[in-house]
Amino acid sequence: MKKTIGIIGLGLIGGSMAKAIKSRTEHRVVGFDRSVDVVNRALSDKSIDLAGDDDSLSDIDILLVALYPKQTVTFIKERSGFIKKGCVVCDLCGVKRYVCDALGAFGKERGFSFVGGHPMAGREFSGYEYALSTLFDGASMILTPTEGTTRTAFDELSAFFLSLGFSRVVETTPENHDRMIAFTSQLAHVVSNAYIKSPEATLHSGYSANSYKDLTRVARLNEEMWAELFLCNQEPLLDEIDTIIRNLGQYREAIAQNDGDRLRALLKTGSDLKKAIDENLD
Amino acid sequence: MKKTIGIIGLGLIGGSMAKAIKSRTEHRVVGFDRSVDVVNRALSDKSIDLAGDDDSLSDIDILLVALYPKQTVTFIKERSGFIKKGCVVCDLCGVKRYVCDALGAFGKERGFSFVGGHPMAGREFSGYEYALSTLFDGASMILTPTEGTTRTAFDELSAFFLSLGFSRVVETTPENHDRMIAFTSQLAHVVSNAYIKSPEATLHSGYSANSYKDLTRVARLNEEMWAELFLCNQEPLLDEIDTIIRNLGQYREAIAQNDGDRLRALLKTGSDLKKAIDENLD
């Protein structure tokens, strides 16, 4: 069935959603962005059918919010009066407890279904100019229902995302999402950003093994976005940082004490764990 | 000029050297391995021309030793009586001070030229069955001359490696090599192996962003080899581990104190550094 999809924020994620929808479905897309240039570019690309305004919010069946966490909450709270009763609202930011706590019960009260969402895809670049219709191909879409999510809304949203190229929808709680994402994504950015700060980093021309390249790829990041995501997920991320610091200390001790048996055991535990995970997951 | 090249140890690195030499040059290759099966396989592959023994060492012009650091030193010291005067001996292990200290002056005394070598290439797998004639294509070859290295020997070796597909030879000191490798390779393996030890690691099906995959790729490793390499390079590696623990602590503190300005500044410093390095190096 042809629906009207609203997309708030036409950056890398929102722009890619627009392109994926227009290239794979019959839905109508209404696009919103604070930059008039970006909206015009999306119109001329035919990635969106219409430039949105407050009034057009009342036509929207599925509203995707692709903003930073705080903007997401502010936008929805300020515009809730324009949102159609029964609309399915799904944010796309990288933390879920913060937005679901703020918008789950609120949506229920105002007559729309709020679902937390996080597409497991991205690039090292941000902005509409990097958006791709294929960005989500084969990726997981995480959805975290709230007290304001009806089962119908959830099922509709799930089918919608699968039609865009995602290979699966994973349903979980905001808390579980935030713990997992602290490990798989946030910690990776912290460690990578810390890794590059060695005094040797600027001197290693000729020594760039692939292991260095892998460890530092995500050191290059958008500090505004990541700082906000980290501060919206303090506890789980602090747990992960503490865990890796503690674990690094064990290798440090074994090396300092020249304890080959202990060092081999530490390395074997990690290596076996990685093998088992690669065989059982994804 | 056609030479006789000896290769001690036909694992991933030694086997790849044999294949690269036979596929790109006219040199004769004499192969040594403690496994008779591996030697026979290399003979039937035509990766080597002859299975080596102590006597055949006396024919060899360039002797490549592709063993772990301690075996490298033991092998050369025990067989030094068989090595031809003027032979150029180059090891291929991942630490240089340990082997150069043990074999530089020793080689000079016994009449051969010892050069430390480290090809900047590898795979997550070990053993002859993974050896590739193209493993070194476009890679750097690091060479660390010792007091036993004549300039003629160095130039001969440098031209030899460039003929195998390496894109450049980097000449440096064993100390500088070991500091750089502690950062670009050893620390990457320690951090990756520590990263995978989070309690969340086995639970993250569906959340595998590329950042997680990059950070943990080298967690899977040969613990015998890496433990030996780490213990042959204690000081530089401990410096790197201490540096990253100290840096991780700074992000930890900023997050715990909910200090957005500090966190953004920490992230921006790392991101800017990565950008500058990517633009200036490699």
Q: How close is the nearest chain B Cα to the Cα of A11, in Å?
A: 19
Is A41 in the same domain as A160?
Answer: yes
Residues A21 and A146 in one domain: yes
* Interface contact flag, A190 B251, Cβ < 8 Å: yes
The rounded distance, in Å, linking the Cα atoms of A150 and A155 is 9
Per the structure, how many domains does chain A have? 2
Residue B281 has pLDDT above 70, yes or no: no
Q: What distance in Å separates the CA atoms of residue A135 and residue A165, rounded to the nearest whole number?
A: 9
Cβ partners under 8 Å of residue A204, min gap 6: A212, B180, B183, B184, B281
**ipTM of the complex as predicted:** 0.91
Q: Which token pair is A220?
A: 């290059």
Question: Are the CB atoms for A157 and A187 separated by under 8 Å?
Answer: no
> Tokens representing B263?
């966190």
| B132 and B183 assigned to the same domain | no
- Amino acid identity, position A151: R
The pLDDT value given to residue B209: 73
Nearest Cα neighbor of B89 from B21, B166, B7 is B7
Domain boundary among A139, A172, A205: A172
Instruction: Say what the pLDDT of residue A181 is.
Output: 95
Q: Which tokens sit at A230?
A: 């980290």
Residue B206's closest CA among A16, A233, A175, A139? A139
Domain boundary among A123, A154, A172: A172
pLDDT digit string, tens, across residues A9-21:
999 999 999 999 9
List C-alpha distances in Å: B49 to B6, B41, B66: 10, 11, 18
User: Does B251 lie in the same domain as B136?
Assistant: no
Q: pLDDT tens digit string along B150-169?
A: 999 999 999 999 999 999 99
Q: Per the CB < 8 Å rule, is A238 touching B226?
A: no
Q: Are residues A132 and A236 in the same domain?
A: no
- Whether residue A123 is found in the same domain as residue A86: yes
Please indicate, yes or no, whether residues B98 and B16 belong to a single structural domain of this protein.
yes
Q: Is A272 left (phi over 0), alpha (psi -120 to 50) or beta?
A: alpha
Domain boundary among B172, B193, B225: B172
Tell whether B124 and B54 lie within a shared domain: yes
The tens digit of pLDDT for each residue in B31-41 reads 999 999 999 99
Query: Which of B166, B200, B263, B269 to probe by mutation at the A interface, max A CB count within 10 Å?
Result: B200
Whether residue B60 sits in one domain with residue B31: yes
Closest by alpha carbon to A228, among A71, A35, A76? A71
Looking at the structure, tell me whether residues B49 and B106 fall in a common domain.
Answer: yes
Partner B, chain A 226-245, Cβ-Cβ below 8 Å: 226-228, 230-231, 234, 237-238, 240-245
pLDDT bracket for residue B122 (50, 70, 90): confident
Range of the domain at A245: 177-280
Q: Are residues A134 and A204 in the same domain?
A: no
Average pLDDT over residues A136-153: 94
One domain for residues A113 and A245: no
d(CA A221, CA B116): 38
Q: Could you tell me what percent of chain B has a pLDDT over 70?
A: 99
B111 touches chain A (CB under 8 A): no
Read off the pTM. 0.91
